[in-house]
Amino acid sequence: MLHLLDQSAETLQSWFTAHDLPGYRAAQVQRWLFEKRARSFDQMTDLPLELRNQLAEEFRIWSAGVAAHQEADDGTEKLLLELADGQRIECVLLRDDREHCNMCISSQVGCGMGCVFCATGLDGVVRNLTTGEIVEQMLQLQRLLDPAERLSHVVVMGMGEPLANLDHVLPALALATARGGLGISVRRVTISTVGLPAGIRRLAEMNCQYHLAISLHAADDALRTQLVPANRNVGIAAIMAAADEYFEKTGRRVTFEYVVLGGTNDRPADAARLVALLHGRPALVNLIPYNPVEGLPYHAPSAASVSRFADILTDGGLTVAVRHRKGDRIDAACGQLRR
Ligand code: SAH
Ligand code: SF4
């Protein structure tokens, strides 16, 4: 059986054409899934019964099951999904208010980049997610909303390295932002990457208008390679060149994420190097106080060290935000997602 959520609007359309069915039916099915939050073909009541049966014979809407569902008192909810092959991934819903619900979705089972502080990277990468599996996370999270709540933002910041799976991530984001899809504004989509220059260039070339966040974590190659082994064959200079190109082509300011690890990369000299690197660039720095991962030897920074670090950046003329911690009590905060 085909996974319905893995079909692009065009392939679904051609299935209808091949079956001598009117093309508008494809759009109708999509509206049921994305807008009216239907769970089954049975619920698509304005489709002829015969068509509903025919669809149910050829397509399954869902490929994954919910293996666990956790809820924190700040409104954050986390789903552990079990995929058709038994692999597991997590995705998170974060609420600001009714009009502003954000979802954090995964792009791979595990991650091959090996960042030494990250729970996702601990056991390497198993495989890329399909487009349908990425879309399914969004619809499963949408299901958790009450009818008055609206998905407004999506961040590809869960498990995995999205730029290592762009062929599946981009079609999923196209559905997230399509009018007949989830209708999320392209400017409210964030792709967070470890910094793969070829992928950044590809996004720049397509002038996609998504918000790009690059996980830097250190402003010199020696420290960065220690924290982000994938840096060894890349280097900060190549990442900065690609980031500059992204800004030139899209006009969108790039965010640099910096996980602050107590006693490791939070010294004043680290901040000064970051100022030197980013000075004069239209950049935003997002400081993420480390969320401890069991079994790893890294520590959360003290509040004093984070604010000292932030002050040095601000004094150096950079724009800085400290990421508000959400969902850490259910291990749904940055870097805590696992299989
Ligand atoms: N692979 C992509 C996206 C997923 S990780 C990337 O690295 O950007 C999303 C963000 O969470 C990254 O900035 C990552 O460095 C950060 N992160 C990973 N582990 C963390 C932890 N334990 N505490 C805080 N942030 C963490
Ligand atoms: Fe992968 Fe991102 Fe974790 Fe690094 S921080 S291991 S790139 S998920």
Q: How many CA atoms lie within 13 A of 67 on its CB side?
A: 15
Ligand 1 touching residue 216 (CB < 6 A): no
Residue type, 4: L
Q: Which residues line the pocket of ligand 2, CB cutoff 6 A?
A: 111, 113-115, 118, 120-121, 160-161, 194, 215
Distance separating alpha carbons of residues 91 and 78, to the nearest angstrom: 6
Q: State whether the beta carbon of 257 lies less than 6 angstroms from ligand 1.
A: yes
Q: Which atom of ligand 1 is nearest to the CA of 292?
A: 22
Please give the distance, rounded to the nearest whole angstrom, from the Cα atom of residue 194 to the centre of ligand 2: 7
Mean of the per-residue pLDDT values of the chain: 94
**What is the model's pTM?**
0.95
- Contact present, 209 and 192 (Cβ < 8 Å): no
Ligand 1, atom 5, lies closest to the CA of 157
Task: Give the pLDDT confidence score for residue 332 in this predicted structure.
Answer: 67
- Per-residue pLDDT tens digits for 71-112: 999 999 999 999 999 999 999 999 999 899 999 999 999 999
For residue 252, report the distance from its CA to the centre of ligand 1, in Å.
21
From ligand 2's centre to the CA of 122, what distance in Å?
9
Q: Which ligand is nearest to the CA of 218?
A: 1
Two structure tokens written together for 85: 């092959």
The protein residue whose alpha carbon is closest to atom 4 in ligand 2 is: 115
Dist. CA 56–CA 76, nearest whole Å? 33
3-state secondary structure 86-122: CCEEEEEEEEEECCEEEEECCCEEECCCCCCCCCHHH
The pLDDT assigned to 339 comes to 64
Burial of residue 132, with CB atoms counted within 10 A of its CB: 0-12 exposed, 13-18 middle, 19 or more buried: buried
Ligand 1 center from residue 276 Cα (angstroms): 23
Binned at pLDDT 50, 70 and 90, residue 323 comes out as confident
Rounded to an integer, the average pLDDT of 261-274 is 98
- Where in the sequence numbering do the catalytic residues fall? 90, 334
Q: How confident is the model at residue 199 (pLDDT cuts 50, 70, 90)?
A: very high
Instruction: Inform me whether the pLDDT recorded for 224 exceeds 70.
Output: yes
- In tens, the pLDDT along 235-260 reads 999 999 999 999 999 999 999 999 99
Can you tell me the distance from the alpha carbon of 183 to that of 181, in angstroms, rounded to the nearest whole number?
Answer: 5
Site to substitute for ligand 1 among 285, 288, 299, most atoms within 8 A of C-beta: 288
Q: pLDDT tens digit string along 49-68?
A: 999 999 999 999 999 999 99
* pLDDT higher than threshold 90 for residue 180: no
Query: Residues with Cβ < 8 Å from 30, sequence gap 6 or more?
Result: 9, 12, 180, 181
Residues 6+ apart with CB under 8 A from 252: 187, 209, 210, 211, 212, 246
Average pLDDT over every residue of 271-294: 95
Ligand 1: centre distance to CA 40 (Å): 35
7 lines ligand 1 (CB under 6 A): no
H/E run at residue 250: helix 236-250
Q: What angle do CA 246, 250, 254 make, to 5 degrees?
A: 50
Q: Is residue 101 within 8 Å of 81, Cβ to Cβ?
A: no
Which residue has 């060894």 as its token pair? 232
- For ligand 1, atom 2, the nearest C-alpha belongs to 193
The distance of Cα 15 from the centroid of its chain, to the nearest Å, equals 30
For ligand 1, whether the C-beta of 165 sits within 6 Å is: no
Among 107, 113, 323, the mutation site with the greatest number of ligand 2 atoms within 8 A of its Cβ is 113
Structure tokens at 282: 């239209």
Report the separation in Å between the CA atom of 24 and the middle of ligand 1, taken as the mean of its atom positions. Answer: 42
